[in-house]
């Protein structure tokens, strides 16, 4: 028993803490927040702050196995943090109404915690095996969320609503569970909104496909990965979210570009068959999905998203460089902007917008670089999956206010951090291969 305990203790590392954060983020319903603090603070956000403290402490010593040295993703994330701190300093220096100042204070805590996750993941996940563990957990949690959402979609029973955790209270988010589109309920799973639910499910679809192919190549059981893939794919479709469908389409393009030729045909056949099967099992689903994109220019929700651009331009002109303050453009007081890039331009100015775009570009560059320098097909496949997730974050920033949804934001920043970790791992393996004499390989 003692030897087993010691083995478990040796296996606990930074990736273990990342897994704990992901469980809190994805499995605990997003509506549950700490009941003993005045601000809205979900458990995942508390863990994110702790990860930031641990990262800062580990950077001061060389004995905790934390990654050191330059990393393009970590640098981009640091610049994004600097932009937020500059905006917060300028915004709180000038006069702000009490309601906006209160939200600015809580928002800076939230974004610093989320940024801490990306930095910690980038430096704490050090090997391919630990990277694999984290991504498998993401897939498993997304499949669990999809299952809860499918129960909501099919039966109207909200399993997440039955979850009660001591010390947590339910925070109403202003969204009515089971709001409908066409004749269908829109599920949320454990998230706060169908758009967020759909994005989480869609991000996991490439991971499911990757692990199915990997298991088949290795001759290991692949049914569990196939189930996860089916749940996530169906969850993304039944979210009835344009964002989720666009993310699925982009993920499909990435897979077709990066998969070996023999797998491309399989992916096309399975994907087409799955879509056809889902349309047959859920009558009317295909027509509803098609209707979401047909005559999109006349869609009331799309018109509402673009109607406020003129007012947004006026706000941008007031504070063009650093913005009015992160979180201060209150939807109830001003208007709802379903475009994170536009909202960032208002709240963080041009510097904040460039920093946000630069972070996505840096993460994308990192995973592309991994595919260039790595000769391991498994790592290259995971890089394509993370690339799809980074692109999903960029798509979400265009189609809705991404940073206003804690689960989607936490997952996207985790994937950005994994892009940096993946690049560090690929460089370390490439350097090790170069140092190894050819005769001993």
Give the model confidence (pLDDT) of 154-172 as tens digits.
888 888 888 888 888 888 7
- Is residue 202 very low, low, confident or very high in pLDDT (cuts 50, 70, 90)? very high
Residues 6 or more apart whose CB falls under 8 angstroms from that of 208 comprise 139, 143, 225, 226, 228, 229, 230, 232, 233
For 168, which DSSP code? E
Q: For residue 273, what are the CA distances in angstroms to 194, 233, 278? A: 25, 12, 8
Q: Which two tokens stand for residue 22?
A: 């992901």
Residues 6 or more apart whose CB falls under 8 angstroms from that of 304 comprise 336, 338
In this structure, are strands 168-170 and 180-181 parallel, antiparallel, or unpaired? Answer: unpaired
Whether the predicted pLDDT of 5 surpasses 70 = no
Whether the predicted pLDDT of 2 surpasses 60 = no
pLDDT for position 365: 96
| In the block, residue with structure tokens 């946000």 | 356
Cα distance between residue 249 and residue 341, in whole Å: 21
- The DSSP string of 217-271 is HHT---HHHHHHHHHHHHHHHHTT-HHHHHHHHHHHHHHHHHS-HHHHHHHHHHH
% residues pLDDT > 90 (the chain)? 46
Cα distance between residue 273 and residue 33, in whole Å: 41
Cα distance between residue 47 and residue 40, in whole Å: 14
Top-confidence residue, 179 or 62: 62
* 8 A C-beta contact, residue 338 and residue 399: yes
Residue 96's Cβ-count burial label (10 Å; 0-12, 13-18, 19+) is: middle
Report the half-sphere exposure of 431 (CA within 13 A, side-chain side). 6
Identify the sign of the CA torsion 80, 22, 389, 213.
positive
Lowest mean pLDDT among 58-62, 104-108, 189-193, 414-418: 58-62
- Is residue 317 very low, low, confident or very high in pLDDT (cuts 50, 70, 90)? confident
Cα distance between residue 296 and residue 302, in whole Å: 7
Whether the predicted pLDDT of 13 surpasses 90 = no
| Secondary structure E strands in 85-176 | 168-170
pLDDT tens-digit map of 41-96: 899 999 999 999 999 999 888 877 788 888 999 999 999 999 999 999 998 888 78
* 8 A C-beta contact, residue 60 and residue 346: no
Residue 131: alpha-carbon gap to chain centroid: 16
- Is residue 119 very low, low, confident or very high in pLDDT (cuts 50, 70, 90)? very high
Helix axes 14-26, 43-58, angle to 10 degrees: 160
pTM of the model: 0.90
* 8 A C-beta contact, residue 114 and residue 410: yes
What average pLDDT does the chain have? 85
- Phi/psi region, residue 184 (left: phi>0; alpha: psi -120 to 50; beta: rest), is beta
- Is residue 412 very low, low, confident or very high in pLDDT (cuts 50, 70, 90)? very high
Cα distance between residue 393 and residue 357, in whole Å: 11
pLDDT for position 345: 93
pLDDT for position 440: 47
Alpha helices in 259-322 (DSSP H): 261-281, 285-293, 300-306, 309-318
Whether the predicted pLDDT of 7 surpasses 50 = no
Cα distance between residue 162 and residue 159, in whole Å: 6
* 8 A C-beta contact, residue 345 and residue 323: yes
Give residue limits of the domains in the chain: 2-440
* 8 A C-beta contact, residue 69 and residue 49: no
Helix axes 43-58, 98-124, angle to 10 degrees: 60
Whether the predicted pLDDT of 139 surpasses 80 = yes
Lowest mean pLDDT among 5-19, 267-281, 297-311: 297-311
Report the half-sphere exposure of 16 (CA within 13 A, side-chain side). 6
* 8 A C-beta contact, residue 183 and residue 240: no
pLDDT for position 218: 86
Top-confidence residue, 335 or 289: 335
pLDDT for position 303: 60
Cα distance between residue 223 and residue 226, in whole Å: 5
Residue 374's Cβ-count burial label (10 Å; 0-12, 13-18, 19+) is: buried
């Amino acid at each position: 028993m003692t030897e087993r305990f010691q083995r478990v203790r040796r296996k606990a590392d930074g990736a273990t803490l990342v897994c704990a954060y992901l469980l809190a983020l994805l499995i605990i319903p997003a509506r549950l927040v700490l009941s003993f603090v005045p601000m809205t603070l979900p458990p995942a956000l508390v863990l994110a702050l702790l990860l930031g403290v641990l990262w800062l402490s580990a950077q001061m010593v060389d004995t905790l196995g934390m990654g050191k040295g330059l990393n393009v993703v970590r640098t981009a994330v640091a610049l994004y943090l600097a932009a937020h701190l500059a905006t917060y300093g300028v915004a709180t220096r000038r006069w702000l109404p009490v309601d906006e100042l209160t939200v600015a204070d809580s928002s800076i805590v939230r974004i610093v915690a989320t940024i801490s996750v990306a930095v910690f993941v980038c430096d704490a996940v050090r090997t391919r095996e630990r990277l694999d563990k984290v991504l498998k957990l993401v897939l498993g949690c997304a499949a669990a969320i999809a299952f809860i959402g499918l129960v909501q979609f099919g039966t109207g029973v909200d399993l997440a609503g039955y979850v009660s955790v001591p010390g947590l209270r339910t925070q109403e988010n202003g969204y009515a569970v089971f709001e409908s589109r066409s004749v269908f309920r829109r599920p949320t799973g454990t998230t706060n909104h169908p758009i967020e639910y759909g994005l989480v499910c869609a991000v996991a679809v490439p991971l499911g496909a990757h692990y199915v192919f990997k298991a088949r190549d290795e001759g290991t059981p692949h049914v569990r990965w196939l189930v996860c893939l089916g749940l996530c794919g169906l969850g993304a479709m039944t979210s009835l979210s344009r964002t989720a469908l666009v993310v699925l389409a982009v993920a499909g393009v990435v897979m077709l570009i990066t998969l070996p030729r023999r797998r491309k045909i399989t992916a096309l056949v399975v994907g087409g068959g799955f879509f056809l099967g889902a349309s047959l099992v859920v009558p009317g689903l295909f027509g509803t999905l098609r209707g979401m994109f047909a005559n999109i220019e006349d869609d009331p929700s799309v018109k509402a998203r673009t109607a406020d651009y003129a007012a947004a331009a006026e706000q941008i002109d007031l504070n063009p460089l650093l913005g009015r303050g992160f979180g201060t453009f209150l939807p109830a007081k001003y208007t709802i902007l379903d475009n994170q890039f536009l909202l960032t331009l208002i709240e963080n100015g041009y510097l904040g917008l460039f920093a946000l775009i630069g972070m996505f570009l840096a993460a994308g560059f990192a995973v592309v670089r991994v595919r260039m320098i790595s000769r391991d097909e498994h790592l290259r496949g995971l890089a394509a999956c993370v690339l799809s997730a980074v692109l999903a974050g960029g798509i979400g920033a265009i189609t809705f206010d991404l940073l206003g949804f804690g689960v989607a934001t936490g997952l996207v920043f985790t994937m950005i951090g994994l892009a940096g970790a993946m690049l560090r791992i690929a460089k370390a393996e490439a350097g090790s291969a170069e140092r190894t004499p050819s005769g001993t390989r």
